[in-house]
Structure 1
Amino acid sequence: MLTIHGVTRSRASRVIWLCHELDLPFRQEPVIQAYRIADADAPDAPMNTRSPGFLAMSPAGAIPVIEDDALVLSESLAITLHLARKHGTDIGPQDYAEDALMGQWSFYAATAIEPDALTILMLHNRGTLQEADDAGLVAEAAERLVRPLKVVDDHLAEHGHLVGGRFTVADLNMAEVIRYAQGHGALLEPFVALRTWLKACQDRPAFHKMWQARLSEPE
């Protein structure tokens, strides 16, 4: 059985959502981020990203990591693309061209959107800006995101989905990255096609199943 190492309140959410889409059974080992623990190196600390046992599997100390038969794989987007190729029907690539395009959109999400979206997630709390310095960082991040979000919005306005006119792992990967900036309503407001598509992604039963598991974990 597939094993996912990582709590759901992490990028493991992408992998867990995909497993629910695929009806793929998995076992979850709740490795927690070390920064969330008062003393991650204490003998009685829960398994975390600095635990020697986890570092033996993931020298980078980052979650998620999967064990898929003999394959040990890290990096969440590499994991979702792998599982979609291996187990996917419509959610995975149907040919080499779709495989390339799913990689293209996933990497675009990771490089052009995720860094600034994470800034918004960390500093923009429930729609209320915090300290003045944080407000400035959020504003700068939002400004940088306008261009890549317009690229996604224009594509969705024409095609409905990122690849193949259907929901695929590319949509899942992109939706999970854009979710980080979702609390900044003013940023997403102009992008009608993107907002419609994001709502449809998050209305999927598999997303709800992952989200309920995420909410049940301690913050």
Structure 2
Amino acid sequence: MITLHYLEDSRAQRILWLLEELKLDYKLVRYRRDDATGLAPASLKKIHGLGKSPVITDDGFTLAESGAIIDYLSQRYGAATLLPARDGHDWWQYVYWLHYAEGSLMPPLLMHYVFERVKRAPMPFFIKPLVGKIVAGVNRAFLDEQIRTHLNFVADHLSCHEWINGSQFTAADIQMSFPLETAMHNPALADSFPRLRAYVNALQARPAYRKALQAGGDYRYGPTN
């Protein structure tokens, strides 16, 4: 049986969703974030040296990294349902989006999240205005433009496609969900990119996604209705 080491409010939500899409039997091992730091607990390092989630074990094999896990599970258990045919350009489009999600789209979103945490971190009152100005300057000069460039790119692509790979829902849609949910969690971005908001709503309306939420519990980027 597949075991998913599931950290709350993390990319592990995608793997749980994928397991539900594939209708696989699995065991869920839950981990809570540290209350003080928000980081994964040290106990995860017993499963994988980096101590991060998601991690799966399957037949004694341990695998980390969302993209690798999604690729592994899809190719082993879902080739007939969640992957395009390998003999055409659709396959390489799938590979592109599978890697784009974490390789290009997520980094500026993650940097923005980290800078916002720095801005809100406890610090002497006389330093806080300076930190606020630095964060605002980085956002204005780099991150805001980068995030909107990527979101415009994805929105343009989805303007003529139902799913990220065309008319077929694939594992690449699952991989793309986390960065887009993160972005659409920002009301200003959600209002600016209605096609992305509609796409995320369609992902979150899938029955397997809803089952994953029931199994995993609270998820900060999940649907509000």
* 8 Å Cα contact 2:2/2:58 also seen in 1: yes
- Residue 105 (structure 2) aligns with: 113
SS in 1 for 2:160: helix
1:154 corresponds to which letter in structure 2?
A: D
- Residue 209 (structure 2) aligns with: 207
2:29 corresponds to which letter in structure 1?
A: E
CA distance in 1, matches of 2:30, 2:91: 30
- Tell me how large the CA RMSD over aligned residues is: 2.9
- Residue 178 (structure 1) aligns with: 180
Deviations 1:36-75 (A, max 9, x none): 1569xxxxxxxx6423xx4343112211111111321000
* 8 Å Cα contact 1:16/1:210 also seen in 2: yes
Deviations 1:69-121 (A, max 9, x none): 13210001210121111222332233254443222112111122212223455
Q: CA deviation at 1:180?
A: 1.1
CA distance in 2, matches of 1:137, 1:96: 44
* 8 Å Cα contact 2:180/2:196 also seen in 1: no
CA distance in 1, matches of 2:64, 2:87: 23
1:215 corresponds to which letter in structure 2?
A: D
CA distance in 1, matches of 2:217, 2:92: 30
Deviations 1:7-56 (A, max 9, x none): 242211010011111111110111344xx1569xxxxxxxx6423xx434
2:24 corresponds to which letter in structure 1?
A: L
Match of 2:57 among 67, 72, 79: 67
* 8 Å Cα contact 1:153/1:191 also seen in 2: yes
Match of 1:81 among 71, 74, 79: 71
- Residue 23 (structure 2) aligns with: 23
Match of 2:81 among 87, 90, 104: 90
2:85 corresponds to which letter in structure 1?
A: Q
Identity %: 30
Q: What is the TM-score when the length of structure 2 is the normalising length?
A: 0.76
Q: CA deviation at 1:4?
A: 0.6
Q: CA deviation at 1:197?
A: 1.5
CA distance in 1, matches of 2:83, 2:18: 10
CA distance in 1, matches of 2:219, 2:94: 31
- Residue 157 (structure 1) aligns with: 159
* 8 Å Cα contact 1:81/1:103 also seen in 2: no
Q: CA deviation at 1:185?
A: 2.3
- Residue 9 (structure 1) aligns with: 9
CA distance in 2, matches of 1:87, 1:61: 26
CA distance in 2, matches of 1:193, 1:38: 37
Q: CA deviation at 1:206?
A: 1.6
Structure 1: stretches of 5+ with no match in the other structure: 40-47
Structure 2: stretches of 5+ with no match in the other structure: 121-131, 221-225
Pair 1:198-2:190 in alignment: no
SS in 1 for 2:31: coil
CA distance in 2, matches of 1:136, 1:96: 47
2:20 corresponds to which letter in structure 1?
A: H
CA distance in 1, matches of 2:150, 2:10: 23
CA distance in 2, matches of 1:180, 1:191: 13
* 8 Å Cα contact 1:5/1:63 also seen in 2: yes
SS in 2 for 1:5: strand
